[in-house]
Amino acid sequence: MNLSQPSVAILMATFNGERFLSEQLESLQAQTFSNWRLYVSDDGSSDSTKEIIKRYQALWGAKKIKYRDGPQKGFAHNFLSLACDPEINADYYAFCDQDDVWLPEKLKVAVEHIMSSNTSDQVYAYGGRTIYTDEKLKPIGMSPLFVHPRTFRNALIQSIAGGNTMVFNQATKTLLEKVGMVPTPSHDWWLYQLVTGVGGIVFYDQRPQVLYRQHSHALVGSNQSTSATIKRLYGLYCGRYKQWTDQNIQALRQVESCLLTSNVEILNLFELLRKSKLRDRMRLLEICGLYRQTWPGTISLIFFAMLNKI
């Protein structure tokens, strides 16, 4: 370890990741930022995931990789079990998926940005774009470019950065520990909602630092293809998105005392909107000022609000 660098705890949740895990671990080893420690929480893998972790633990040393059994309640709960653990301590923290590949400057860019952009007591999270690849890491596109402000009005109805890109500071880790485990569909969406909800800052890096592998067993994938878009819209129509929103609201209500008063008011209006008749829903949608990061996304928001599917 380079002790002149701040420390980073990499938080990895695994489950049956044997196909691509070694490539991800090699990309961590190749980071130009070296003062990191990997914490792995495995959710009951039945393949060779645990053996791969133990092999790298033997190569790198037990201090470099810490392994434990996960809670086995889904990927979001697994990631949050790491992020909310007060026994995991560092200057900065990075979520890490098992099947991606980090570009060599990934940690260096994120840590240097956070260090230069805020004070240590400010709740702050870094996220950004990714490069979509096929299973063999051949680039096939990029995640959308988002340019609108990262606010609670956006976070309520959209997650803008994958957890595989997210790095956050100790103030954010302390907040996560304080609020504890919550019922949320996605750890990255929850981090976006929580940080903006308390008045913190979310930075969105337009330069991708992660190769986001698209494969048949991925839990979350690209929305770029026509088939993926149709599948996502069908899920919206069938009520999947509304179920996610129910979970998010339940989680936000549990931490309401931490939120800015102005954001509690927005949350109240959003709940009222979801229970109102069509004419009132459209009026409340405008009052809430909710928006997505692209105009097609905002149009779809209005359309599904009309159908009472948000």
What pLDDT does residue 120 have?
74
- Sheet of strand 139-142: strand arrangement: 101-102, 210-213, 131-133, 139-142
DSSP 8-class letter at 129: -
The tens digit of pLDDT for each residue in 229-243 reads 666 667 666 778 999
Q: What is the pLDDT confidence band of residue 101, given thresholds at 50, 70 and 90?
A: very high
Kind of pairing between the strands at 201-205 and 124-128 = parallel
Contacting residues for 288 by C-beta, under 8 A, at least 6 apart: 153, 266, 269, 270, 273
Per-residue pLDDT band at 227 (split at 50, 70, 90) = low
Residue 75 has pLDDT above 70, yes or no: yes
Domain ranges of the chain: 8-213, 226-306
Return the pLDDT at 5: 87
Residue 31 in tokens: 């980071």
In this prediction, residue 221 has a pLDDT band, given cuts at 50, 70 and 90, of low
**Which segments of 97-200 are extended strands (E)?**
101-102, 124-128, 131-133, 139-142, 167-169
pLDDT band at 216; cut points 50, 70, 90 = low
Residue-wise pLDDT tens digits, 116-148: 986 778 999 999 999 999 999 999 999 999 999
The torsion defined by the Cα of 41, 214, 110 and 37, in degrees rounded to 10, comes to 30
Name the pairing type of β-strands 92-96 and 8-14.
Answer: parallel
DSSP character string of 255-284:
TGGGS-HHHHHHHHHHHHHHHS-HHHHHHH
Residue 38 has pLDDT above 60, yes or no: yes
Percent above pLDDT 70 for the chain: 91
Residue 172 confidence (pLDDT) above 60? yes
- Amino acid identity at 222: S
pLDDT, position 4: 75
Rounded to 5 degrees, φ, ψ at 216 are -65, -25
207: pLDDT confidence band, cut at 50, 70 and 90? Answer: very high
CA distance 248 to 255: 11
Residue 26 pLDDT class (50, 70, 90 cuts): very high
pLDDT of residue 223: 53
What integer pLDDT is reported at residue 225 of this predicted model? 53
pLDDT at 239: 78
Q: Is the pLDDT of residue 84 over 70?
A: yes
Query: What share of the chain has pLDDT > 90, as a percent?
Result: 86
List residues bridging with 14 in a β-sheet: 42
pLDDT at 121: 86
Please tell me the predicted confidence (pLDDT) of residue 117.
Answer: 85
CATH architecture of 8-213: Alpha-Beta Complex (3.90)
pLDDT score of 185 = 95
The pLDDT of residue 118 is 67
Q: Which residue has the higher pLDDT, 204 or 120?
A: 204
Label residue 220 by pLDDT band (50, 70, 90): low
**Mean pLDDT computed over every residue of the chain:** 92
The pLDDT-based confidence of 253 (bands split at 50, 70, 90) is very high
In 121-140, which positions are buried (b, 16+ CB within 10 angstroms) versus exposed (e)?
Answer: eebbbbbbbbbbbeeeeeee
Give the model's pLDDT for residue 2. Answer: 55
- 102 — pLDDT class (breaks 50, 70, 90): very high
Mean pLDDT for 29-50 is: 97
